[in-house]
Amino acid sequence: MWKEFKEFAMKGNILDLAIGVVIGGAFGKIVTSLVENIIMPLVGMLTGGVDLTQSFMFGPGQAQIKLGVFIQSIIDFLIIAFSIFMALRFINKINRKKKEEVVEEKAAPVLDAKEELLKEIRDLLKKEQA
């Protein structure tokens, strides 16, 4: 059982997925920091010094609805989603170019003399029938 698990865990897709999760987590932290420390203060400056995370809070005591924090999370999500979209778009463009190069490399097969003569005979027979 241990051997099977080891084979499963060492497959390329599993390792790629694990690396993607780690990089994605780090990227999420960077985007969160960008939104919290740069974008939201700029929004606050544009709105006359309003801190969205502190201004849009409703409810008594500790049970508060924090609408500003929710808006900040939406901005986080939009930046991450757009970044992933752009990365996938770039990767797809590269893959398309590689596929086009492979198709171009596969030129028409070179025909030997016999096949060329057979094609000429076929074409002549078609002309006579028409």
Per-residue confidence (pLDDT) for residue 88, from 0 to 100: 85
Stretches in the chain below the pLDDT threshold 70: 9, 12, 103-109
pLDDT tens-digit map of 55-84: 778 888 888 888 888 888 898 888 888 888
Q: Is the pTM of this model over 0.85?
A: no
Domains and CATH numbers, the chain: 2-129 (1.10.1200.120)
Per-residue confidence (pLDDT) for residue 109, from 0 to 100: 67
Burial of 37 (0-12, 13-18, 19+ CB in 10 A): exposed
Q: Which amino acid is at 13?
A: N
Per-residue confidence (pLDDT) for residue 103, from 0 to 100: 66
Q: At what angle do helices 67-105 and 12-34 cross, to 10 degrees?
A: 140
Candidates 83, 74, 82, 81; CA nearest to 40 is 74
Per-residue confidence (pLDDT) for residue 39, from 0 to 100: 85
Per-residue confidence (pLDDT) for residue 55, from 0 to 100: 76
